[in-house]
């Protein structure tokens, strides 16, 4: 299996550094692209999020789908994004990768220690019919296969998360129950080489409904309506709290 993933960019402060993908995008509000009233005339995509218009950078793909374009606008500050992503014979409308590399240092970067790497891979697809439990089980199986191929298991690997999001017309009761109770966290070499975790979410934007497993934090980017039932500390919040320990 082959797939292209983003490169390493680095943001460094006095004590530690982290990598957020090739573009170095972060979740800070100051990094949001400025509104450009001429963007549409120039052929660049403009999307509206929370009442504000944002111009999509050139490296953010367009999906020809207003909903996915708005989701992409929510994700673009943290994830390197691709469209029509294929892996192991499966195609996903949206793929995103978040990279975070951290280390401690004493006085200078030359005296660094405690290097740790974290990755988060997001796969999303929109389907026309109802989603089934079997559909989600197949995605979980795919997650294990991808983990075997993609994870570079060593002492610096802290954790990798794989989140699969299905965008569907509705959420059947059996699917809601399955996703809400889903947990799949796996230690690598008894935890010596870190861990990986699979997460699931199903979103039905037409009826403003969503269900997500416990740590499927990127699913919040798919909730475009006012009431967010997934309102809880997000992925970056969890990572930054760990880095401050």
Domain assignment present for residue 47? The answer is no
Pseudo-torsion of CA 25, 26, 28, 29, nearest 10°?
40
pLDDT band for 59, please (50, 70, 90 cuts). confident
Domain assignment present for residue 28? The answer is no
Domain assignment present for residue 14? The answer is no
Domain assignment present for residue 70? The answer is no
pLDDT band for 42, please (50, 70, 90 cuts). low
The mean per-residue pLDDT over the stretch 74-85 comes to: 95
Domain assignment present for residue 221? The answer is yes
Is the separation of the CB atoms in 194 and 96 below 8 Å?
no
pLDDT band for 231, please (50, 70, 90 cuts). low
The mean per-residue pLDDT over the stretch 79-92 comes to: 97
Q: What is the pLDDT of residue 52?
A: 66
Domain assignment present for residue 1? The answer is no
pLDDT band for 111, please (50, 70, 90 cuts). low
Domain assignment present for residue 76? The answer is no
Q: Is the pLDDT of residue 99 over 60?
A: yes
The region of weakest confidence among 115-129, 133-147, 175-189 is 115-129
Pseudo-torsion of CA 133, 139, 140, 144, nearest 10°?
160
pLDDT band for 21, please (50, 70, 90 cuts). very low
More confident residue, 175 or 55: 175
Q: Is the pLDDT of residue 100 over 50?
A: yes
Is the separation of the CB atoms in 135 and 171 below 8 Å?
no
pLDDT band for 98, please (50, 70, 90 cuts). very high
pLDDT band for 138, please (50, 70, 90 cuts). very high
Q: Is the pLDDT of residue 56 over 70?
A: no
Domain that holds residue 187: 81-243
Domain assignment present for residue 36? The answer is no
Report the number of distinct structural domains present in the chain: 1
């Amino acid at each position: 299996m082959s797939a292209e993933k983003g490169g390493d960019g680095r943001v460094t402060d006095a004590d530690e550094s982290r990598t957020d993908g090739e573009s170095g995008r972060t979740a800070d509000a100051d990094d949001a692209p400025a509104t450009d009233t001429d963007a549409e005339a120039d052929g660049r995509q403009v999307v509206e999020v929370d009442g504000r218009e944002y111009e999509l950078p050139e490296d953010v793909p367009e999906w020809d789908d207003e909903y996915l374009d708005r989701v992409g606008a929510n994700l673009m500050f943290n994830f390197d994004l691709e469209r029509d992503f294929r892996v192991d014979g499966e195609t996903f409308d949206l793929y995103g990768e978040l990279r975070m590399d951290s280390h401690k240092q004493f006085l200078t970067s030359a005296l660094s220690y405690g290097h740790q790497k974290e990755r988060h891979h997001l796969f999303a697809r929109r389907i026309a019919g109802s989603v089934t439990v079997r559909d989600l089980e197949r995605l979980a199986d795919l997650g294990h296969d991808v983990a075997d191929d993609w994870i570079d298991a060593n002492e610096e690997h802290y954790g990798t998360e794989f989140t699969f999001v299905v965008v569907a017309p509705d959420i059947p009761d059996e699917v809601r129950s399955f996703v809400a109770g889903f947990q799949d966290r796996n230690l690598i070499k008894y935890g010596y080489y870190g861990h990986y975790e699979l997460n699931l979410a199903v979103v039905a934007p037409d009826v403003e409904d969503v269900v997500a497993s416990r740590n499927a934090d990127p699913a919040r980017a798919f909730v475009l309506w006012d009431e967010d039932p997934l309102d809880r500390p997000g992925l970056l919040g969890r990572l930054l709290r760990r880095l401050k320990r």
